[in-house]
């Protein structure tokens, strides 16, 4: 071989880089790191209500007007640059008496789960007035106008969750303000959904499920959950129900699945892992969620995150009271792309995860 031909790989790699190219061999390490599945993105983490509430109350002083910014404290995963999980963010928001969080819209889809609510706390979504009583769930689908109104004489608090990591990864973010504090409300409350969930629907709307403001009142959900206490449930999650999209009967929203879960007194679930990530809020009760060997000990109103592909199991530490958890998952996105798997066995009626020969499974 001539001297010019054997310039060496390192030199060649550098020349490729200068020509805006990279040899596939440079990705070998990345691929080898995926044997046995992905490393969980971020770490398991718990945010205690005691600490979150104290910071929210402080924020009420530091940010006296709610419209200067949403008075929301987002939960930052200590193992990530942004977000609660790599695809989503969860946080708590507080409004003082009489405040309005001004109307805006964005292509991030959002949900609200009410912590301290009232019939006089309202989110208006694309003209629909959605009251927010304790433990209600309210949907703000992507690109719907929304403003929040505290018509009570006390502070109110709710949980926000958005698919922000996903939308930013796809570089699909749009945002605008209305320019008014509040949007006009429909005269006939509930007409958006009523006109789209019956026998006839508008032909000019192509993806109706994206745009349905909806409220799931706790007074309807709780009796169904408690009424299933004697059922088998899932060996991995106990009694767990999905909030379904009222138009499609499918996932809550195209990118977000919301669950309400009951662990019966003393219940211990089997460990499993999913390619999805989950963010949890304790409605009531006391228990432990063990995530890749880390014990997250939770009680009323605490929040925690289970990163994707992290093994997790639940224990209700009380032998007399049920524990109830609300949670938000990125399952619909992974499912739509054929990337949703669970192990040791599928519990959501989906295809099994790709088998990995035992001898190449990375030790964890």
Which residues bind to ligand GTQ, rule: CB under 6 A? 70, 72, 91, 93, 101, 106, 146, 160, 162
**Smaller CB separation from ligand GTQ, 36 or 151:** 151
Question: Which token pair is 86?
Answer: 């790599």
CB of 121 to ligand GTQ, least distance (A): 13
Nearest-approach distance from CB 147 to ligand GTQ, in angstroms:
8
CB-CB neighbours of 270 under 10 Å: 13
Least Cα distance to 131 among 120, 142, 140 occurs for 120
Let me know if 340 is exposed, middle or buried by CB neighbors in 10 A (0-12, 13-18, 19+).
Answer: buried
Q: Residue 70 CB, nearest distance to ligand GTQ (Å)?
A: 4
Q: Which is nearer to ligand GTQ, 70 or 272 (CB)?
A: 70
Q: Dihedrals φ, ψ of 67, to 5°?
A: -85, -10
Q: What angle do CA 314, 315, 317 make, to 5 degrees?
A: 150
Q: Which is nearer to ligand GTQ, 52 or 162 (CB)?
A: 162
Cβ-closest position to ligand GTQ = 160
To the nearest whole angstrom, how small is the minimum distance from the Cβ of residue 201 to ligand GTQ? 28
Dihedral in degrees, nearest 10, Cα atoms 141, 147, 148, 153: -160
Q: Closest separation between CB of residue 152 and ligand GTQ, Å?
A: 17
145 vs 340, which CB is nearer to ligand GTQ? 145
Residue number with CB closer to ligand GTQ (101 or 310) = 101
The nearer residue to ligand GTQ, 160 or 209, going by C-beta atoms, is 160
Phi-psi region of 322 (alpha: psi -120 to 50; beta: other; left: phi over 0): beta
Q: Rounded to an integer, what distance in angstroms lies between the CA atom of residue 320 and that of residue 306?
A: 26
Minimum CB separation of residue 33 from ligand GTQ in Å reads 32
User: For 63, how many CA atoms within 13 A lie in the half-sphere containing its CB?
Assistant: 18
CB 104 within 8 A of CB 173: no
Task: Identify the burial level of 351 via C-beta atoms within 10 angstroms of its C-beta, where 0-12 means exposed, 13-18 middle and 19 or more buried.
Answer: exposed
Residue 269 contacts residue 314 (beta carbons within 8 Å):
yes
Question: Based on CB atoms, which residue is closest to ligand GTQ, 167 or 283?
Answer: 167
Q: Residue 122 Cβ, how far from ligand GTQ at the closest point, in Å?
A: 13
């Amino acid at each position: 071989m001539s001297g010019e031909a054997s310039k060496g790989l390192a030199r060649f790699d550098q020349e490729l880089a200068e020509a805006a190219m990279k040899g596939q061999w440079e990705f070998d390490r990345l691929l080898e790191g995926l044997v046995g599945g992905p490393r969980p993105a971020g770490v398991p983490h718990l945010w205690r209500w005691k600490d979150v509430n104290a910071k929210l109350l402080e924020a009420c002083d530091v940010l006296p007007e709610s419209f200067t910014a949403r008075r929301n404290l987002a939960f930052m995963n200590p193992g990530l640059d942004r977000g609660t999980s790599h695809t989503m963010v969860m946080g708590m928001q507080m409004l003082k008496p009489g405040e309005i969080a001004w109307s805006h819209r964005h292509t991030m889809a959002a949900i609200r789960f009410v912590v301290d609510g009232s019939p006089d706390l309202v989110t208006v979504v694309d003209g629909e007035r959605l009251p927010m009583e304790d433990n209600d769930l309210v949907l703000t689908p992507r690109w719907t106008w929304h403003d929040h109104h505290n018509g009570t004489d006390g502070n109110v608090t709710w949980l926000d969750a958005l698919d922000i990591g996903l939308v930013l990864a796809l570089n699909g973010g749009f945002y605008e303000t209305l320019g008014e504090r509040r949007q006009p409300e429909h005269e006939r409350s509930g007409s958006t959904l009523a006109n789209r969930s019956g026998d006839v629907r508008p032909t000019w709307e192509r993806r109706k499920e994206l745009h349905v403001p909806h409220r799931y009142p706790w007074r309807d959900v709780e009796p169904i959950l408690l009424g299933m206490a004697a059922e088998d449930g899932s060996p991995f999650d106990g009694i767990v129900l999905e909030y379904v999209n009222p138009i499609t009967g499918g996932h809550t929203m195209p990118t977000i699945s919301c669950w309400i879960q009951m662990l019966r007194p003393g219940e211990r679930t089997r460990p499993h892992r999913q390619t999805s990530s989950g963010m949890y809020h304790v409605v009531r009760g006391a228990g432990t969620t063990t995530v890749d060997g880390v014990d997250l000990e939770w009680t009323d109103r605490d929040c925690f995150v289970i990163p994707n592909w992290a093994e997790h199991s639940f224990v209700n530490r009380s032998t007399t009271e049920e524990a109830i958890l609300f949670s938000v998952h990125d399952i619909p996105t992974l499912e739509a792309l054929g990337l949703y798997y669970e192990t040791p066995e599928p519990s959501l009626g989906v295809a099994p995860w790709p088998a990995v020969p035992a001898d190449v499974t990375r030790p964890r």
